Amino acid sequence: MGLQAKNKVDAAFSMSSMTDIIFLLLIFFMLTSSFITPSGLPVNLPSSETSDIVMQEVTVSVTKDLKYSVNDKVVSREQIKSELAGLLEGKKGQVVLHIDKEVPVEYLVEIGGIAAGLEANVSIATKPY
């Protein structure tokens, strides 16, 4: 008796769809990880109900012991204006302030005033609840 099946099942597995999915996941994680840029100094940010993601062109960080950094470069308080002026160079840029929540408000206002005087858009970095 000839009881053989006419349609044989091919046991081969195509990996092309799996590599496509992994490639798309890789692109997704690479793009989303570039939106979050850590500041140069460890700063304990204040909390906020709404926390928008802003593309950070220039970041200014102030720690609770009043150490300043501009784009991961540690500077003194007197050098902040010259550093910001050099980075913005007459264009309207985005300055994100990473100010520790224990720093008095006068330092926040001072740095925000310097950035606004250079015609930059100023944002304050917060962490969500």
CATH tag, 47-128 = 3.30.420.270
Listed by start position, the domains of the chain span 47-128
Strand order through the sheet with 73-75: 73-75, 68-70, 58-62, 94-99, 121-124
Residue with the larger pLDDT of the pair 1 and 73:
73
User: Sorting pLDDT into bands at 50, 70 and 90, what band is 35?
Assistant: low
Read off the amino acid at residue 8.
K
The CA distance from 36 to 127, in Å, is: 12
User: Sorting pLDDT into bands at 50, 70 and 90, what band is 1?
Assistant: low
> What pLDDT sits at residue 44?
66
For residue range 6-20, what is the model confidence (pLDDT) as tens digits? 777 777 777 778 888
- Exposure letters 63-92 (e unless 16+ CB within 10 A, then b): beeebbbbbeeebeeeebbebbeebbeeee
Residue with the larger pLDDT of the pair 128 and 69:
69
